[in-house]
Structure 1
């Protein structure tokens, strides 16, 4: 029986798992990523995932460390301003706006937005060229056996993998987490998100706009121009029945509802892609560490898509774990000890809980339907924006400012 030997075994080949594999290998550690989904090909890439991902600057710096940024930069749309707008009056009209500008926290931009299908394609290409990295696509883990000095995993094709450390990036229903008996608390908001792309009349000028009315936020995130027209990605959160009704509407009817909800901020919007529907939940694992195992990304936490926190929290997990592993390897120490993994848990779990609580509060406020609650939300936005120290602190927390601000800054997207 063939046995694969590696330093790091990564379960799950989504954006987080592929980034982890590239980053670990770029840091000099052998990394094998196992994913049940076949790689995205050039032919089917554009239809494979209609979502996009906003990478805040700490995450962009991790992409640079992983040798990924150079291939992505040309297609990245810069996010210069995060605009929060309240439209909670009787009519869908903006009545309060707060612009959070990256320059206030010492950055030229907050980050960059990229389509998910492009990310996966370029990440797979990077792993193919990177010594010490490999992607085993179309395979899943069927068994995990931790030992004192290693962890043994069996794959769906019968092969075994022996590694010093298993990184679980295998999603919200993580096989690794459940196999190791690590509990997770999950709750629902009764919401779904419609995800799609629009073309619009007015240029977005690098402004990401989050409009609050009721049911959940409606967010327009800049994308690169296409066909000579400005484009944005949309995440439209609504109550489950309303979201399902919107997804089922004929395109002309949906376009009218879309433009009414967008309050005219970018002029007339036109649907530029099919619509996808996603359930909105929150979830957090009881612990991020197990025997020879670290949980990252959605195996560790899931939050509503507000404030670009989801994947950026995941990449903070990975950056923290890589730093600990590189430190241990430099000291010729074991990278999978209980002590090292407990340090990882302590480094990340408190931050995760705080961010989940913050996003939970924002989401519940954005769902408000009663006029008095809408007015309270508007007053809170005005207070936050009107106090510069509070505003800058909120932006710094949103960026995840702290541990990696000294990392090299990537070139701006052209």
Structure 2
């Protein structure tokens, strides 16, 4: 009970997925999470929804989560990106044979499913609520003392604690970070007309407006929105009565889905960027938001963390087969080199898009629209962007291809 192949600090979506991926390959883990599992599963804890890219979905299927989640998410059959409400748009669509570009899930459903799977797992110990008080990493092992006095040891510590990872800070890992003068308003809206399984990304100088298809509920059609507004306007937008908020949302959408209704409470959070200079240290690996945090403009934040999970799992499985322990420096070097380029390119691309679409004026708008027209018409370029949307670009770990390691 007090020793495992891996200790994972953080029991969020990425941390628990990593534990389950390792469990599938008979690698033991202890997950230490400061939040009571009952708290994170209540309806009001997290009203957000996440787009699981098709490659990430293949991994969830490969580790046994697909059957638990089947039919509970809304497939994304097309993505339509436009500069404002212009009819000129860049459209990514897919055939039934190819499968959806991604699937929209409510975060609370993902959390509930992950916790249920962890409870059934043979090689996972979840300690929650629990906090690490001291962590000692040396050349031979990692020792973690918890707030109740429990001492646990492992060859490898994984930090999955989110953007403000104390483990990353204690390791002295430098982080490039800045804040955008933006806040994201999150809500689920009901609407009169069906969404047709199309995700819309409408770019405005004040920030993008994403409209993401959700499964219908008893009251009718639904979509999730991620509405980026100027930081100074966030408080006022959050304070609007529902009727006024829905009227503003309908203007942004150009009335494309008809009359709107509020289908969830609103939430808001400030937007920022951070990228760790390295994602490993002595017997330490970073995953998810502990390693990188990006603007939600392309909906890739969670998927980037799931790509970390797939790569780290493959590295550890291969290492154990060679007789190495999970914290071996060679394995961590492989994980670092595998993930460094991908995370940097995705982070740089989302940051560039954020800045490009924030430039006001008719000249900038025409340049953006011309660029989108080019991508729409040049097939190889469009295929490259579609592969990125699916999470299928670069050297894919086996789990993202839908097969176990």
TM tier, smaller? over 0.9
2:31 is equivalent to residue 38 of structure 1 = no
Shift of 1:228: 4.9
> Is the Cα contact below 8 Å between 1:209 and 1:220 reproduced in 2?
yes
Measured in 2, the distance between the counterparts of 1:140 and 1:372 equals 53
Cα deviation, 1:180-210, whole Å, max 9, x if unaligned, reads 1111110111100000000111111211111
After superposition, the Cα gap between the structure-2 partners of 1:407 and 1:8, relative to the gap in structure 1 and judged at 3 Å, is same
Give the 3-state SS of the residue equivalent to 1:306 in structure 2.
Answer: helix
2:140 is equivalent to residue 149 of structure 1 = yes
Q: Which residue number in structure 1 is paired with residue 69 of structure 2?
A: 72
Q: Which residue number in structure 1 is paired with residue 90 of structure 2?
A: 98
> Is the Cα contact below 8 Å between 2:279 and 2:285 reproduced in 1?
yes
Q: Which residue number in structure 2 is paired with residue 408 of structure 1?
A: 402
Q: Which residue number in structure 2 is paired with residue 243 of structure 1?
A: 234
Cα deviation, 1:231-281, whole Å, max 9, x if unaligned, reads 111100111012222111122111111111111222222221111001110
For 1:168-207, list aligned pairs within 5 A.
Answer: 168-207=159-198
Measured in 1, the distance between the counterparts of 2:349 and 2:175 equals 19
CA RMSD, Structure 1 to Structure 2 (Å): 1.9
2:277 is equivalent to residue 279 of structure 1 = no
Measured in 1, the distance between the counterparts of 2:174 and 2:211 equals 35
Q: Which residue number in structure 2 is paired with residue 15 of structure 1?
A: 13
Alignment counterpart, residue 29 of structure 1, candidates 21, 24, 27: 27
Q: Which residue number in structure 2 is paired with residue 59 of structure 1?
A: 56
> Is the Cα contact below 8 Å between 1:11 and 1:168 reproduced in 2?
yes
> Is the Cα contact below 8 Å between 2:55 and 2:402 reproduced in 1?
no
Shift of 1:149: 2.2
Q: Compute the TM-score of the two structures, normalised by the length of structure 2.
A: 0.95
Measured in 1, the distance between the counterparts of 2:95 and 2:138 equals 49
> Is the Cα contact below 8 Å between 2:202 and 2:210 reproduced in 1?
yes
Measured in 1, the distance between the counterparts of 2:49 and 2:38 equals 15
Shift of 1:291: 0.8
Cα deviation, 1:297-330, whole Å, max 9, x if unaligned, reads 0000000112221010101011000001001111
2:243 is equivalent to residue 252 of structure 1 = yes
Cα deviation, 1:25-80, whole Å, max 9, x if unaligned, reads 111100111111111469x6222110011110111122123221211122111011
Matched residue count: 401
Shift of 1:332: 2.0
2:100 is equivalent to residue 109 of structure 1 = yes
Q: Which residue number in structure 2 is paired with residue 332 of structure 1?
A: 323
Measured in 1, the distance between the counterparts of 2:258 and 2:49 equals 22
2:308 is equivalent to residue 311 of structure 1 = no
Alignment counterpart, residue 204 of structure 2, candidates 204, 208, 213: 213
Measured in 1, the distance between the counterparts of 2:38 and 2:21 equals 20
Measured in 2, the distance between the counterparts of 1:329 and 1:404 equals 17
Measured in 1, the distance between the counterparts of 2:362 and 2:11 equals 44
Measured in 1, the distance between the counterparts of 2:203 and 2:352 equals 13
After superposition, the Cα gap between the structure-2 partners of 1:242 and 1:251, relative to the gap in structure 1 and judged at 3 Å, is same
Cα deviation, 1:357-385, whole Å, max 9, x if unaligned, reads 11011111222332222222112111111
Measured in 2, the distance between the counterparts of 1:407 and 1:153 equals 35
